[in-house]
Structure 1
């Protein structure tokens, strides 16, 4: 076993044990959360300590176009990619023996590239650490299995189940509904086990072919890495069984959208005690300040939690998406929910993020809101909502353009996330929004062509 393989996590070691490793995929997340990088023979990887990619990958839109560089010239200098061996994991769907390794992006002087999503999340986690805090998160991932869609002009429809019927909606928590596509679920479990990931639970959600996977709580960067990997893993499992997995916020008309709910707690870095609970188990002022930070600053990060024009189709009343800044105990109609738990597990669930967000940026944005509330330490949250909050007054941006404007106007959030990152993100997203506005939809052709 060579030196670098000795740094691998146990699951990766087990995967390659007794086998000849063929290939290593050196990957990073771009702004959208797409895996970018390069693959190389394992023998070549063993001889190199770093690799190179142009920094322009962070200026690429989801359509493959390029935004203007707002923080420098468009000369495409190379970044240095440094492997984080703790992230090494199998790629069990490949034909040969392959490992994936997430890399950190540095400039040529060794500084973190400020608009690399993993670095943005690390920046926020380090702000907590400087105060003696360690944030803990537990994400929930919702997604749809859908029939193969090779023509973008055709609507997305549910997949065919083992019964020969298409997956049905309004079957939340139904075990028989999950069994309809059990082979896909089996492969998800198998891939996750080979990659060393622990799934806390899988359940049927309310949409046709909509599934939720819950992950155990832990370190924000580690959990973001896992979601980054899980998206690829789930897509590969679906493709094996003649369907697609999609993380679009709203893929099917008339169906609920897919969220990435994020549970937050914060522990004292020295004692390991949850700062949201006092010695008697009661709620602390810090807990209230964290909630207040969410309420005050979430509008400024909706562009990160809902990053595409499609994202705002999820924010529709009466479709199980809480589009408000209310908070409540065990109240799923509020955007901010305090789940039932013991004092040691007291946490706040942010229910606003869509599953289409980049996991590094979605978690960073949510943590940034709570951090600003903790740092302020004065502002209390508004009174708890004890009724139905679904019909609360609109307080959030309702389209990507407004969300980007709100983000641009928030000096505190730009400081926490990093001004260079915010500038690059805004440039990419405004480019995407401009492209979308040039597309004429079927609705417009149907209702406006002959009627106006």
Structure 2
């Protein structure tokens, strides 16, 4: 890490930051000349900071606060190392961190450690997940009383309707997307295809698949930080809020994954379209965990406004081949790339928790050789299917009652996450609609 600082002498400021349970970056800023201490000594921060609510407030009655004296944990750099922050005016770098106890034990309330635990369990079986993510977001002008798309810098006009896969909609913000791709390259984020989506001012960028699931999660977390910051640099907002406009489609984050064995073979590939029994076991695990996982896949009050029949977000629990109405889709294409697409999560998720929940559920399905139901055909919205939780309270109850989640996530994290979401749900009820939008627009 010291060599990176020497190779980038113009960097003046460092942010050492960790992802909390909501995926918010929390940490410290320091002059670059002091940053060398981070590689050896790390940085100290209260463990309770990883368990604050979406407002950044302590969780009432949390055992991490007064009951234990609000003790420090030790933040240490992740393997990612320094990444530039191209959205800031002054040359700066971010050092992603994760939290440990004094004795070097991973802090079980850290979402990145939760994903690491799942990845390690795959590795113990000689398996390695390959992961790709598709991130939808809105570009929004929030300077007035009502949200609206920002005017194009080229024409001065606003795009007031959805234009699916429109080149014109992309070219309206050519400078922004060009700078975004340059920034992704500088930050080693594998941003590939960009498209315009169905909502007004809505876009999607795919991040290329990686056989390092932790890097895929890091990439998604850093991408969200980048696009929030870069949009503000250009004079508007970028939001991953699940449903910023009541009348327009919501924002999702679809995840594709396959699993490789020790020889690099895809365990879902049988040389044909159907896939292997392992494919169905993994699908069965995802289906079994889906109701309890909903609190992670849809973590906020606004998240549940996205799940309406016929709105391109799944409402029933089912899987299918090449069918975008189902919660789990097995895409067509080359058999060597046979994979699962998990389509439930919103763009407002914490990428570490989301991948821990999805991959952990698939692993349970593989371990138990679970049987998947028959794939559906036709529209999932017209089928008689078990339904996903449709309210925040319902998702909290399903998460709390689940025994399966204890096979996927650490007990301490489950406790902390439940306390966080219960507190947020309580205070969310007191907010006006304007306050709810303002809460989530920039944070998630």
**Please, what TM-score do these two structures have when normalized by structure 1?**
0.90
Query: Which stretch has the larger CA shift, 61-70 or 338-347?
Result: 61-70
CA contact (8 A) 2:273 2:332 kept: no
- Equivalent residue for 1:333, pick from 325, 329, 334: 325
Shift of 1:76: 1.3
Aligned length: 427
Q: Which runs of 5+ in 1 are unaligned?
A: 443-452
Number of the residue aligned with 2:122: 128
**Counterpart position of 2:423:** 431
The answer to whether the Cα contact below 8 Å between 1:71 and 1:423 also exists between their aligned partners in 2 is: no
Give 2:99's match in structure 1, choosing from 102, 105, 109: 105
Tell whether the 8 Å contact from 1:70 to 1:427 is kept in structure 2 after alignment. yes
* Cα separation, partners in 2 of 1:314 and 1:282, compared to 1, 3 Å: closer
CA distance in 1, matches of 2:297, 2:343: 10
- Which residue is equivalent to 1:157? 148
2:439 alignment counterpart: none
Alignment deviations for residues 327-372 of structure 1 (CA, whole Å, 9 cap, x no partner): 1111111110111122221100000000001011111111111111
Structure 2 residue aligned with 1:386, among 377, 385, 401?
377
CA distance in 2, matches of 1:352, 1:294: 11
Matched, 1:142 2:139: no
> Structure 2 regions of 5+ residues with no counterpart?
435-444
- Partner Cα separation in structure 2 for residue 69 and residue 174 of structure 1: 50
Aligned to 1:398: 390
Q: 2:217 is matched with which residue?
A: 224
Q: Verify the 8 A CA contact 1:146 1:209 in the aligned structure 2.
A: yes
Q: Which residue of 2 aligns with 1:47?
A: 37
Structure 2 matches for 1:4-403, cutoff 5 A?
4-6=1-3, 8=4, 17=7, 19-48=9-38, 49=40, 50-71=42-63, 73-149=67-143, 154-161=145-152, 162-218=154-210, 219-268=212-261, 270-278=262-270, 283-377=275-369, 379-392=370-383, 393=385, 395-403=387-395
- Is the Cα contact below 8 Å between 2:135 and 2:347 reproduced in 1? yes
* Cα pair distance change 1:176/1:338, threshold 3 Å: same
Instruction: Check whether the contact 2:217–2:351 (CA below 8 A) recurs between aligned residues.
Output: yes
Check the 8 A contact 1:80/1:108 in 2, yes or no: yes
Structural RMSD (CA)? 1.9
Distance 1:280 1:258, change over 3 A: closer
Q: Are residues 19 and 103 of structure 1, via their aligned partners in 2, closer, same or farther at CA, if it must alter by over 3 Å? A: same
In structure 2, distance between residues paired with 1:228 and 1:18: 23
Q: Tell whether the 8 Å contact from 2:357 to 2:408 is kept in structure 1 after alignment.
A: no
Partner Cα separation in structure 1 for residue 198 and residue 357 of structure 2 = 27
2:414 maps to 1:422: yes
Instruction: Specify the SS of the correspondent of 1:216.
Output: strand
Tell me if structure 2 keeps the 8 A contact 1:294–1:369: yes
Aligned-partner Cα distance in 1 for 2:295–2:274: 34
Question: Contact 1:59–1:69 (CA<8 Å) still a contact in 2?
Answer: no
Q: Conserved in 1, the CA contact under 8 Å of 2:317 and 2:386?
A: no
CA distance in 2, matches of 1:279, 1:331: 20
Provide TM-score, normalisation by structure 2: 0.92
After superposition, give the CA deviation of every residue in 1:186-230 in whole Å (9 maximum; x if it has no partner). 221121122122212111010101010000111221011111111
| Cα distance between partner residues in 2 of 1:439 and 1:431 | 13
- Residues 17 and 26 in structure 2, CA contact (< 8 A), matched pair in contact too: yes
- Judge which range, 304-313 or 188-197, deviates more: 188-197
Contact in 2 for aligned 1:68/1:74 (Cα 8 Å): no
Residue 295 of structure 1 deviates from its aligned partner by 1.2
Residues 129, 166 of structure 1: alpha-carbon distance in 2 compared, 3 angstrom cutoff:
same
